[in-house]
Amino acid sequence: MTESQPPGAAADPREESREERKAQSRRRILDSAREVFFRDGFMAANLDEVAEKAGVAKGTLYRYFDSKADLYVAVLADNGKVFTERMREAAASGGTAPETLEKLSRFYLDHWLSHQDYFQIFWAIDNQSVIGELPGSVVDEVSRLWEESLSILDEVLARGVARGELIECDTWRTSNILWTVANAVIQSDSTDARRRLRRGALEDMYEQTLALVIAGLKPPKP
């Protein structure tokens, strides 16, 4: 219903169709941009190619997004929303705090294996010395997504400490440790040299590493 329509009035099918077409165009642009940003990085990504892949004119692209940085942030936010929603589902799935941490660690690895393009874009903030300084809006969005993810971990840890399922600890700092360790193991898969040094499957090293960290958070047995 548009603002000019009285309450209860039927929506104009032409207006609905127009909105559907706009939503479809925006989705095609986001999907194309994700592919180009993943392949080329932020600095080298060409918006002409994004528009061509999306099947829209470049001028149409700028009707949806003000700049390359705005489009990059939209790609991050689009993927980040799905990621944090699923992370919250994993965190709320029940069980003790150690069991929930294990579920979260498995979720994180599974999500990376299925969405490696997103993680490469997400981690770009760590590579600014190589790819060039990112716009402030991009850094802010990555930081926001990181903080939201860490907050979910922090809630699980705080609940576990309160229940006596985990040792007393600085839950925010511990969340950062878990996050850093998980990412470090995953990024060991980034080059052939690092894979050779690992001398084993990524999944095995990831599970063993997180199991060690989680075991260290459990109270000693009486």
Q: Are residues 151 and 198 in the same domain?
A: yes
For 54-73, what is each residue's pLDDT tens digit?
Answer: 998 888 888 888 888 888 87
Residue numbers of the domain that contains 34: 12-65
4 located within any domain: no
Q: Are residues 40 and 133 in the same domain?
A: no
- Which backbone phi and psi does 115 adopt, to 5 degrees? -135, 55
- The enclosing domain of 108 has a CATH number of 1.10.357.10
Q: Are residues 60 and 76 in the same domain?
A: no
Distance of CA 47 to the CA centre of its chain: 22
Q: Are residues 110 and 33 in the same domain?
A: no
Q: Are residues 73 and 57 in the same domain?
A: no
Q: Among residues 65, 81, 98, which one ends one of the domains? A: 65
The residue ranking higher by pLDDT, 12 or 175, is 175
Whether the per-residue pLDDT at 14 is higher than 50: the answer is yes
* Mean per-residue pLDDT, 28-55: 86
- Identify which of 26, 75, 21, 73 has the alpha carbon closest to the alpha carbon of residue 54: 26
Give me the helices (H) in 45-96, please: 47-54, 58-64, 68-91
For 79-109, what is each residue's pLDDT tens digit?
Answer: 778 888 899 999 998 899 999 999 999 999 9
